[in-house]
Structure 1
Amino acid sequence: MSPVPETRSAAYSLRGWLDRLEATGRLTVMRPGVGLVHQLAAVAKRLDGTTATLFPHPDGHSGTVVSGLVSDRAWMAEALGVPGDELIAHCQRAAAEPLPWREVAEAPVQEIVHRGDIDLTRLLPIPTHNEHDSGPYISAGLTIARDPETGVQNVSIHRCQINGPDRIGILLLPRHTDHFYRKAEAKGESLEIALVIGVDPATLLASQAIVPVGQDELEIAGALRGEPLDVVRCKTNRVRVPAQAEIVIEGRLLPRVREAEGPFGEFPQYYGERADRHVIQVDAVTHRVRPLFHTIVGGGLEHLLLGAIPREATILATLQRNFPNVEDVHLSLGGVGRYHLVVKLRQTQHGEAKNVLLGAFAAHYDIKHAVVVDPDVDIHNAREVEWAVATRFQADRDLVVVGNSQCSKLDPSTDDGLGAKWGVDATIPIGSPEMKFKRIRVPGEEAVDIDRLAAPAAVWRAAIE
């Protein structure tokens, strides 16, 4: 793979980002005809984290699918136009200082409009990913809904199963879209909704921000980009959608209607079970000429990083409000970007690390295991974190367990989302003798120039003569 260029210019559209990836050797274009059922996902997963993939005319469909757009943390920073070590701080600033969007009358995403006699799989190349998925899924669509009382929007990503030509089953977790829906359903009304497919990396990332109800993530997208996001009103409802997107499915979440949905391969790399879930009735589809259909393969790097990075920004801000000496946090990929948190703490008080652990559990219910370490530990290096636990932790002294807690409903080890959390204090006890926990080091190791000292093309037997 080509090295990531030292660019600081943000990518303001999906197509512009694809141009960047192609120019730097990070886009693989497949031959036409790759199968929509399993084969496309198999190829995308094989290249996950190495290159993005573009699939022209899969299975003979007129459309094109793209995947793996931001399957590397450094790519995400590049797409936002910031250095890698400033990514989380940039996300924090965007959530704290959102930019109101700018409404336009015409938009590329409405170049072509379909109303009536809609057949989603005919219009769009929708893949089936995993072996036991119940059918084709929209997995990278931004769900945009309006609060029926205030008109404020919420943006999120939910798995969406194609239930019929113009009908979609959707899994709503107990967050903001579900909150809006309950308000509408209580009045016997539908909830206006739009599924937006194919957006720039900043808007994709902003959709995963963990912010209070009433804050529109499209405004966070503008702040991440450094300029207001252009939006356009849907053709059949009042939802505003990104003007530069590729595809918009307009519809309504129906009141008191549930239909079977699932199973589907989710981010924990298990299947989300089949159950009766909410239903979207599709009213219109709008899109660009020759639109790009973005799909995210469940449990892949793109899926995990999109969940991890915004959560890290939110969790860090939450912890720093109460513990200003928390320096950084990291949600590890081994913990599926949601469940395992590492916190870097410059501890000043006895017992402080345990309070930080409790604060971490309160910061997001998904967090299941947390480890607090000292500033000398690289929290992005699993080996370093394990070393800290191995040498600075004692279970009878440094373990915190909280039972019967709200956890992720997608964690199969829980009882429908009810589970336990544990935290590990792997910090050096305050007042320890200096040499007891002093890390060994070889002087000059960092400055050694191996290329200058190594003998080129040397044969060892000749070298010792």
Structure 2
Amino acid sequence: MMETQMNTRDAATQGAFSATPFSQAHTWAEPSGALTLRGWLAHLARTGRLATIDRSVSLEHELAAVAKRLDGTQAAFFTQPGGLDVPVVSGFMSKRSWIAEAMGVEEHALLGRFRDAADAPIASQRVARGEAACQQIVHTDAIDLHALLPIPTHSEHDNGPYITAGLVIARNPRTGVQNVSINRIQVHGRDRMAILLLPRHLYAFQKAAEANGDALDVAIAIGVDPLTMLASQAITPIDHDELEIAGALQGAPLPVAQCVTNSVYVPAFAEIVIEGRILPNVREPEGPFGEFPKYYSAKEAREVIEVTAVTHRRDPIFHTIVPAEMEHLLLGGIPREATLLAHLQRSHPGVKDVHLSVGGVCRYHLWIQFDKKREGEAKNVILCAFGAHYDIKQVVVVDTDVDVHDPAEIEWAIATRFQADRDLVVIEGAQGSPLDPSTTVGQPDDAPPHLQGVSAKMGLDATRPIVYPAHVFTRVRIPGEDTVDLETLVAADNTAFDAYLARRHD
């Protein structure tokens, strides 16, 4: 990265900051394994799951096209993106099994492990300004994001380059407690960005600051470890810092450092941090942008971030998420699944597992495995699920013999255990996802926010009756099909069959 700004400083060598340290440690050793982005990428490389693209690729579409082709098979590491010497990585969390591996558990235990961390967060450990790896290089004057960072333009009709994998961190103006989220951010100026704020915690923070005529200080951390990335998507009540859930996932306090131009704390081992503030009463055009439902959201006036500093590690790595592909979907889906499972089990202990399907963009379609004891219970579970998160549009409840992670199993249960006149639940006019394009049908293009995202909800009770005659609903099964040892029974090659044919010929 070129360091041409007059106020660009190497904090580690010049002691640029005078803040009092929060700990006695003056050097911070690099964590191992999945606890930093670099450690996780090294692990993927050793196990053949990192593809290195060692030639120049265009930041406009080409980089995203390559990453999409590799999605779910290998992470993509671009060494020469757009003529800049800052590499770009994408897709390092694009398989469910990889995420479980980073968490150190089997795939079936993934939701339980995430839920345990969310229930028992660990307070972060504060590192003094200037001692954190993410502040080895500091830019505060004449910032030009396009010259500093390789920010891709992903989809065909995107209105320019977007930061898609940045953890947006802000403090509640009333309580000081932080919130972490991932928001799409369009970079449309040298030091100016437009951000999408949905009606969640960051939105509430911004509205509270704006009501007082104040800007809201923010930081965007890019290039964090997979566990911190996952923790950022936890669904928690307001005033619960997701960085503390990251610490619980890692099994130790997450090192954090205060920004150089505001009071926000960021992961100390982040590759890049953009510091800034959301300006009050300022809106600028943002979009169109290809979102997770695999459609474009429209151009609208959005809140604006004014950049005050960029800090980064030496030789930083930029992370981008290709919208609507597996890394994007799983990052949002798995934390939601863990939260939904906990929510449902509090009222319905018979709920055994849940899955947000990929076909439902890991947001809209929820499949629930349920041990039904009374008729009508499944409909109560459906209603409970709709109340758990407004994004949920369709719920299917199945019995415990049905694998909720297998779409064919779900379709089979609907085909053989569901009747629409008896087992269908429809709710009209409920709040749904504003990013679901079907909710905009019949609405004017400039519909006010309170009319956006109005959706119908559909629940399907695909459970068999508690009591049924004979074997009407008994699933066909062959004894021994799951335990038969094929390796001892099946010939390794075709010589046995050839010998059989020879005997028949004789």
With the length of structure 2 as denominator, give the TM-score of the two structures. Answer: 0.89
Give the secondary-structure state (helix, strand or coil) at the position aligned to 2:438. Answer: coil
Paired AA for residue 55 in structure 2 = P
Q: Is the Cα contact below 8 Å between 1:32 and 1:60 reproduced in 2?
A: no
Cα 1:47/1:235, change in 2 over 3 Å? same
Equivalent of 1:32 in 55, 70, 85 = 55
Aligned counterparts of 1:259 and 1:184: Cα–Cα separation in 2:
18
Equivalent of 1:173 in 198, 201, 212 = 198
Output aligned runs, 1:50-69, within 5 Å. Answer: 50-69=73-92
Structure 2 counterpart of 1:101: 124
Structure 1 counterpart of 2:241: 216
Output aligned runs, 1:20-419, within 5 Å. Answer: 20-105=43-128, 106-415=131-440, 416-419=452-455
Structure 1 counterpart of 2:7: none
Equivalent of 1:452 in 477, 485, 488 = 488
Aligned counterparts of 2:285 and 2:464: Cα–Cα separation in 1:
52
Give the secondary-structure state (helix, strand or coil) at the position aligned to 1:252. Answer: strand
CA positional deviation for 1:457: 2.8
CA positional deviation for 1:62: 1.7
Equivalent of 2:478 in 436, 442, 452 = 442
Paired AA for residue 375 in structure 2 = H
Give the secondary-structure state (helix, strand or coil) at the position aligned to 2:71. Answer: coil
Structure 2 counterpart of 1:5: none
Q: Is the Cα contact below 8 Å between 1:10 and 1:81 reproduced in 2?
A: no
CA positional deviation for 1:454: 2.4
Q: Is the Cα contact below 8 Å between 1:319 and 1:356 reproduced in 2?
A: yes
Cα 1:22/1:405, change in 2 over 3 Å? same
Deviation string for 1:357-410 (max 9, x for gaps)?
000001110000000000000000000011001000010110000110111111
Deviation string for 1:216-237 (max 9, x for gaps)?
0000100111111000000000
Aligned counterparts of 1:455 and 1:199: Cα–Cα separation in 2:
49
**1:423 has 2:459 as partner:** yes
Give the secondary-structure state (helix, strand or coil) at the position aligned to 1:164. Answer: coil
Q: Is the Cα contact below 8 Å between 1:261 and 1:275 reproduced in 2?
A: yes
CA positional deviation for 1:448: 2.4
Structure 2 counterpart of 1:6: none
Q: Is the Cα contact below 8 Å between 1:258 and 1:279 reproduced in 2?
A: yes
Structure 1 counterpart of 2:500: 463
Q: Is the Cα contact below 8 Å between 1:155 and 1:217 reproduced in 2?
A: yes
Equivalent of 1:11 in 27, 30, 34 = 34
Q: Is the Cα contact below 8 Å between 1:32 and 1:57 reproduced in 2?
A: yes
Q: Is the Cα contact below 8 Å between 2:177 and 2:240 reproduced in 1?
A: yes
Give the secondary-structure state (helix, strand or coil) at the position aligned to 1:307. Answer: helix
Cα 1:446/1:251, change in 2 over 3 Å? same
Deviation string for 1:262-318 (max 9, x for gaps)?
011111111111111110000000000110000000011000000100000000010
Deviation string for 1:134-184 (max 9, x for gaps)?
111000000001001110000000000011000000000000000000000
Larger radius of gyration: 2
Specify every segment of 5 or more residues in structure 2 that has no aligned partner in the other structure, as ranges: 1-31, 441-451
Aligned counterparts of 1:355 and 1:138: Cα–Cα separation in 2:
41
Aligned counterparts of 1:383 and 1:10: Cα–Cα separation in 2:
36
CA positional deviation for 1:208: 0.5
CA positional deviation for 1:434: 5.0
Aligned counterparts of 1:150 and 1:174: Cα–Cα separation in 2:
19
Paired AA for residue 279 in structure 1 = V
Paired AA for residue 120 in structure 2 = E
CA positional deviation for 1:249: 0.3
Aligned counterparts of 1:12 and 1:454: Cα–Cα separation in 2:
44
Specify every segment of 5 or more residues in structure 1 that has no aligned partner in the other structure, as ranges: 1-8
Paired AA for residue 371 in structure 2 = R
Deviation string for 1:95-149 (max 9, x for gaps)?
1111111101120000000002000010001111111111110000000010011
Pairs aligned (count) = 457
Q: Which moved more, 1:30-39 or 1:64-73?
A: 30-39
Q: Is the Cα contact below 8 Å between 2:33 and 2:43 reproduced in 1?
A: no
Q: Root-mean-square deviation (CA), in Å?
A: 1.1
Aligned counterparts of 2:321 and 2:194: Cα–Cα separation in 1:
17
CA positional deviation for 1:58: 1.0
Q: Is the Cα contact below 8 Å between 1:202 and 1:225 reproduced in 2?
A: yes
Aligned counterparts of 2:344 and 2:73: Cα–Cα separation in 1:
33
CA positional deviation for 1:456: 3.2
Paired AA for residue 449 in structure 1 = D
- Quote the sequence identity (%): 60
CA positional deviation for 1:46: 0.1
CA positional deviation for 1:435: 1.2
Q: Is the Cα contact below 8 Å between 2:355 and 2:367 reproduced in 1?
A: yes
Deviation string for 1:172-229 (max 9, x for gaps)?
0000000000000000100010011000011000010011001000001001111110
Aligned counterparts of 1:385 and 1:64: Cα–Cα separation in 2:
41
With the length of structure 1 as denominator, give the TM-score of the two structures. Answer: 0.97
Paired AA for residue 75 in structure 2 = A
CA positional deviation for 1:455: 2.8
Paired AA for residue 11 in structure 1 = A
Q: Is the Cα contact below 8 Å between 1:197 and 1:248 reproduced in 2?
A: yes
CA positional deviation for 1:461: 6.2
CA positional deviation for 1:462: 5.3
Q: Is the Cα contact below 8 Å between 1:10 and 1:78 reproduced in 2?
A: no
Paired AA for residue 454 in structure 1 = V
Paired AA for residue 58 in structure 2 = G
Q: Is the Cα contact below 8 Å between 2:33 and 2:39 reproduced in 1?
A: no
Paired AA for residue 266 in structure 2 = V
Q: Is the Cα contact below 8 Å between 2:171 and 2:264 reproduced in 1?
A: yes
Aligned counterparts of 1:386 and 1:434: Cα–Cα separation in 2:
24
